């Protein structure tokens, strides 16, 4: 009896050890400096953005003209990062700016991903005329410089969050589309697709259930890089005055406003500039780490996406 | 190895020597060159295709204009015109006697009345013309002889000189007839001004070259005048301090100290005759509602904005004009034209207007006027506080300006420059068919503006103008805000006295 109990305990312990070993082995590729460093920065961005209403000390748009252009008051003063030309608290605007950057980046990635993957899968799966037409569309849109196209769209549609997202999506779907099309071309002649086809599955079902899931790992990698470039483009458009309306604080518009005062009130441009820098660095690190894990071929060839 | 090292050292030394020589040559050349960092740009080769103060000043120096308002003398002075008079019996008839023997740049063709008539006709007929408002009082123009022009106005217009003197750019009839509009503007921009157009890169720079044979061009005036478009104030100030430019236009208040501290430059201030205002077009809802328009004027705390956002570098406007502008009457202004900040009254007016809280968009330029974005951002919460659901939009200047000129912008912040005699500016913005910019049609404004134009006696005209001011303020198609103090950064290598209109003439600059 004692022997059997000991044996059972040993088996359980061995199982536990094996499970934890498996977990460690599964986690090991993810525990790289890139993924951890990038992940922490992105997590901070997400937490900062989502909890802005609770952690921001002031309303980001609350003006106090008599307190305009106050320098940073580091030691737990009223305005830790100082105030802008209208007496608005810089720190609060940075928190709310993180929200906008996050919303824009996520929405751009999701919309361009859905459009790009869908078109890429259709193009690669059907090949022939469908492929030709979709690829011609890709080539036409691809011919425009991305920022110029976004500026043209914003100038035409006017300022607004939705318009900004549309302008940023206008060319970002192409990367997804090209990569997905290449993969779909290869997948369409694979055995599991032939099997589904011979069982009478419709094209839509084959694309959605069998092709698209195989496209997601690459799309995830593209998504992280696209997210970083969307944040930079948003900042660039806001810097040019073509981003979101002035009442919405964004890092790009804060940077644009701060440049006027750069020689006299350095804090106006420095803090939003640093936020953009670290966010893009974090997302790029994370994307790089994900690429190493999910697509080792790219790592080996040294080619980049984004 | 040693040989290649020696060769590299020789190349480096040669490069340093060449750079130094080139630098010295550049500095020597810079003696006759003055570069001005400006905020505005010329949008076309066609001198009639835009209506901005800087454009008129530049084209006046190149092609020529009839005259200008001399702020030192406090009176109009002829440039291409010798003298002028109004017919005593018929106040509609003006006679302009042109200067004789004025020779055109390069070919020496003489300036005649045919060129004046051609220019007025071109303003009226050129499809690109944006200056029709400048000749709106003119009914007929004819040549009495080669050097005399007769202008007949639609109605007696005491302020005719303000309309046409430096706003009708005189271009050559013979060149136009020979080459056509497009060719003549691009390839033969020759006129009777003291400077020749050397280069125009739209949106970047305008380069003028002195015509040394011109009687107004003195040896100490700059040989080359470059208007370099620098929209960023920081850029203008940095360029001034680095000796890249000699005049930096429109220094914002927060950079004034930086210019004052510079050892190679000085800060000059002059009162401006540019009136800043908020325009509300009654063509669009909800601005067709008088009470709502009036509420806007009571809702803006101009003193607070002047003190904190403009750092006291502006003077509040009570009524359309201020001290130094024609027709200003301090007593009348204090009694009848002062609108004090009164949010309670604004709230009452909003309530009485029946305004249903629909969003209204305030369009403002960015970088066109001093602290324009900050100023309008400060206005929005003031409007919100009295119950007006205002939101700010900052379209790019070219789009905003084109829309304003077409009357497509319902609510905007803008400035009107060169308002010496306010008659023209007020007619342009507030009279029926003055221009589409606001598009108001108010019989009382029309009547009072017409009345001031027919008053040739100065005292009578001043009185009539003030009545017109009151009519405009009562109808409230606009709220008058302030006049900026214009701050200029000036290199110590030149002498120049900026004028209130902000126009820069090469003949008024002396290189030390």
Mind listing the pLDDT tens digit for each residue in B293-326?
999 999 999 999 999 999 999 999 999 999 989 9
Ordered by start, the domain boundaries in chain A are 35-70+77-298
Cβ atoms of B483 and B369 within 8 Å: the answer is: no
Distance from CA of A60 to the nearest CA of B (A): 13
* Residues whose CB is less than 8 angstroms from the CB of residue B433 and which lie 6 or more positions away in sequence, other chains included: B441
Mean pLDDT confidence for B148-161: 94
Mind listing the pLDDT tens digit for each residue in B163-213?
999 999 999 999 999 999 889 999 999 999 999 999 999 889 999 999 999
Residue A228 has what pLDDT?
Answer: 82
Distance from CA of A159 to the nearest CA of B (A): 7
Mind listing the pLDDT tens digit for each residue in B105-154?
989 999 999 999 999 999 999 999 999 989 999 999 999 999 999 999 99
Residue A151 has what pLDDT?
Answer: 86
Closest CA to B427 of B409, B448, B411, B401: B448
Of the candidates A66, A240, A264, the beta carbon closest to that of B254 is on A264
DSSP-assigned letters across all residues of A181-226: HHHHHHHTTSHHHHHHHHTT--HHHIIIIIIHHHHHHHHHHHHHHH
Residue B264 has what pLDDT?
Answer: 95
Interface test with A, best of B238, B254, B312, B367 (most A CBs within 10 A): B254
Residue A18 has what pLDDT?
Answer: 84
Asked if the model's pLDDT at residue B3 lies above 70, the reply is no
**Domains annotated on chain B, with CATH:** 2-44+193-270+486-511 (3.40.190.10), 64-179 (3.90.76.10), 275-484 (3.10.105.10)
pLDDT band for A241, please (50, 70, 90 cuts): confident
DSSP state of B507: G
Mind listing the pLDDT tens digit for each residue in A109-146?
999 999 999 999 999 999 899 999 999 999 999 898 88
Of the candidates A68, A246, A265, the beta carbon closest to that of B373 is on A246
Interface test with B, best of A61, A62, A67, A86 (most B CBs within 10 A): A86
Residue A5 has what pLDDT?
Answer: 79
Cβ atoms of B233 and B313 within 8 Å: the answer is: no
Distance from CA of B505 to the nearest CA of A (A): 28
Residue B232 has what pLDDT?
Answer: 85
Residue A296 has what pLDDT?
Answer: 52
Mind listing the pLDDT tens digit for each residue in A245-270?
888 898 988 988 888 888 889 999 99
Cis peptide before A303 (omega within 30 of 0): no
| Strand ranges in B50-178 using DSSP code E only, listed in sequence order | 67-70, 75-78, 81-86, 93-98, 138-145, 148-153
- Chain B hits for A240, Cβ within 8 Å: 396
Of the candidates B366, B377, B381, the beta carbon closest to that of A241 is on B366
Upper half-sphere CA count for residue A15 (Cβ side, 13 Å): 6
Count of CB atoms situated within 10 Å of the CB of A262: 15
- Cβ–Cβ contact B262 with A under 8 A: no
Of the candidates A86, A155, A265, the beta carbon closest to that of B374 is on A86
Interface test with B, best of A59, A63, A83, A87 (most B CBs within 10 A): A63
Residue A260 has what pLDDT?
Answer: 84
Mind listing the pLDDT tens digit for each residue in B51-104?
888 899 999 999 999 999 888 777 899 999 999 999 999 999 999 999 999 999
Asked if the model's pLDDT at residue A80 lies above 50, the reply is yes
A271's enclosing H/E stretch is helix A267-294
Task: Give the residue numbers in A contacting B (CB under 8 Å), as ranges.
Answer: 61, 63, 65-66, 68-69, 85-87, 155, 158-159, 240-242, 245-247, 257, 259-265
Spell out the alpha helix ranges (H) of B197-247: 233-241
For domain A35-70+77-298, is the CATH number 1.10.3720.10?
Answer: yes
Residue A10 has what pLDDT?
Answer: 84
Residue B4 has what pLDDT?
Answer: 53
Asked if the model's pLDDT at residue B9 lies above 50, the reply is yes
Residue B14 has what pLDDT?
Answer: 52
Q: How far apart are CA B172 and CA B57, in angstroms?
A: 18
Residue pairs spanning A and B at CB distance below 8 A: 68
Percentage of chain B modeled with pLDDT above 70: 94
Asked if the model's pLDDT at residue B18 lies above 60, the reply is no
What tokens were used for B102?
């004025």
Of the candidates B238, B254, B377, the beta carbon closest to that of A86 is on B377
DSSP-assigned letters across all residues of B301-355: -HHHHHHHTSTT-EEE-SSS--TTSTT--HHHIIIII-----HHHHHHHHHHHT-
The ipTM of this complex is 0.74
Mean per-residue pLDDT of chain B: 91
Residue B28 has what pLDDT?
Answer: 33
Q: How far apart are CA B288 and CA B360, in angstroms?
A: 13
Mean pLDDT confidence for B423-444: 94
DSSP-assigned letters across all residues of B246-297: SEE----GGGHHHHHH-SSEEEEEEE--PEEEEEE-TTSTTTT-HHHHHHHH
**Interface contact flag, A85 B309, Cβ < 8 Å:** yes
Strand partners, B490: B247, B266
Residue A227 has what pLDDT?
Answer: 84
Residue scoring higher pLDDT (A306 or B84):
B84
Q: Which residue has the tokens 């009279």?
A: B431
Mean per-residue pLDDT of chain A: 87
pLDDT band for B19, please (50, 70, 90 cuts): very low
Residue B17 has what pLDDT?
Answer: 47
Distance from CA of A89 to the nearest CA of B (A): 15
């Amino acid at each position: 009896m004692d022997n059997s109990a000991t044996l059972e305990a040993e088996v359980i312990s061995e199982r536990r050890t094996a499970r934890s070993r498996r977990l460690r082995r599964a986690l090991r590729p993810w525990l790289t400096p890139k993924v951890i460093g990038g992940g922490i920065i992105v997590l901070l961005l997400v937490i900062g953005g989502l909890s802005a209403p609770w952690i921001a000390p002031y309303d980001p748009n609350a003006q106090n003209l008599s307190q305009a252009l106050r320098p940073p008051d580091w030691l737990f003063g009223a305005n830790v990062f100082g105030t802008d030309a209208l007496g608005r608290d810089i720190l609060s605007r940075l928190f709310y700016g993180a929200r906008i950057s996050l919303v824009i980046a996520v929405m751009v990635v999701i919309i361009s991903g859905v459009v790009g993957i869908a078109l890429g899968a259709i193009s690669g799966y059907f090949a022939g005329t469908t492929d030709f037409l979709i690829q011609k569309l890709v080539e036409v849109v691809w011919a425009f410089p991305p920022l110029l196209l976004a500026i043209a769209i914003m100038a035409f549609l006017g300022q607004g969050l939705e318009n900004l997202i549309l302008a940023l999506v206008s060319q970002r779907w192409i990367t997804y589309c090209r990569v997905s099309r290449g993969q779909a071309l290869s997948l369409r002649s694979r055995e599991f697709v032939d099997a589904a086809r011979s069982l009478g599955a419709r094209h839509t079902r084959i694309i959605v259930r069998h092709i698209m899931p195989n496209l997601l790992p690459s799309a995830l990698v593209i998504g992280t890089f696209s997210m970083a470039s969307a944040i930079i483009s948003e900042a660039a458009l806001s810097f040019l005055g073509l981003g979101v309306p002035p009442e919405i604080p964004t890092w790009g518009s804060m940077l644009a406003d701060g440049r006027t005062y750069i020689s006299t009130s350095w804090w106006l441009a420095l803090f939003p500039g640093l936020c953009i820098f670290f966010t893009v660095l974090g997302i790029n690190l994370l994307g790089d780490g994900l690429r190493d894990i999910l697509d080792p071929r790219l790592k080996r060839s040294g080619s980049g996406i984004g | 190895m040693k040989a290649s090292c020696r060769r590299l050292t020789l190349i480096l030394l040669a490069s340093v020597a060449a750079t130094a020589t080139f630098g010295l040559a550049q500095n020597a050349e810079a003696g006759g060159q003055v570069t001005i960092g400006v905020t505005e740009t010329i949008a076309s080769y066609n001198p009639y295709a835009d209506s901005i103060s800087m454009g008129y000043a530049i084209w006046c120096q190149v092609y020529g204009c009839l005259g200008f308002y001399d702020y030192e003398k406090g009176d109009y002075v002829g440039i291409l015109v010798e003298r002028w008079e109004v017919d005593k019996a018929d106040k509609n008839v003006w006679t302009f006697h042109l200067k004789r023997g004025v020779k055109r740049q390069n070919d020496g063709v003489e300036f005649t009345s045919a060129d004046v008539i051609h220019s007025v006709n071109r303003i009226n007929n050129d499809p690109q013309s944006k200056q029709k408002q400048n000749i709106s009082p003119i009914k007929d123009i004819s040549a009495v002889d080669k050097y005399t022009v007769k202008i007949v106005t639609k109605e007696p217009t005491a302020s005719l000189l303000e309309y046409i003197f430096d706003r009708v750019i005189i271009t050559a009839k013979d060149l136009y007839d020979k080459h056509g509009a497009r060719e003549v503007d691009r390839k033969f921009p020759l006129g009777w001004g003291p400077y020749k157009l050397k280069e125009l890169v739209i949106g970047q720079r305008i380069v003028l070259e002195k015509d040394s044979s011109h009687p107004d061009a003195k040896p100490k005036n700059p040989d080359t005048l470059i208007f370099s478009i620098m929209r960023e104030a920081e850029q203008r100030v940095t360029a001034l301090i680095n000796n890249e430019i000699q005049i930096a236009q429109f220094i914002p208040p927060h950079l004034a100290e930086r210019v004052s501290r510079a050892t190679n430059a000085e800060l000059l201030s002059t009162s401006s005759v540019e009136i800043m205002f908020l325009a509300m077009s009654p063509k669009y809802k909800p601005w067709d509602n008088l009470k709502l328009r009036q509420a806007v004027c009571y809702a803006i705390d101009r003193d607070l904005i002047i003190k904190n956002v403009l750092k006291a570098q502006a003077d509040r406007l009570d009524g359309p004009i201020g001290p130094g502008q024609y027709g200003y009457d301090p007593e009348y202004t204090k009694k009848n034209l002062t609108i004090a900040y009164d949010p309670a009254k604004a709230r009452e007016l909003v309530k009485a207007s029946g305004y249903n809280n629909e969003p209204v968009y305030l369009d403002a330029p960015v970088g066109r006027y001093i602290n324009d974005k900050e100023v309008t951002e400060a206005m929005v919460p003031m409007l919100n506080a009295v119950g007006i659901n205002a939101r700010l939009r900052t379209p790019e200047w070219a789009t905003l300006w084109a829309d304003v000129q077409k009357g497509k912008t319902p609510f905007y912040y803008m400035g009107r420059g060169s308002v010496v005699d306010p008659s023209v500016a007020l007619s342009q913005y507030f009279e029926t068919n003055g221009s589409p910019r606001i598009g108001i049609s108010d019989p009382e404004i029309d009547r009072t503006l017409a009345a001031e134009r027919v008053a040739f006696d100065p005292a009578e005209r001043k009185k009539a103008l003030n009545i017109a001011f009151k009519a405009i303020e009562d109808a409230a198609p606009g709220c008058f805000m302030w006049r900026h103090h214009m701050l200029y950064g000036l290199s110590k290598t030149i002498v120049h006295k900026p004028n209130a209109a902000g126009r820069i003439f090469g003949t008024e600059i002396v290189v030390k």
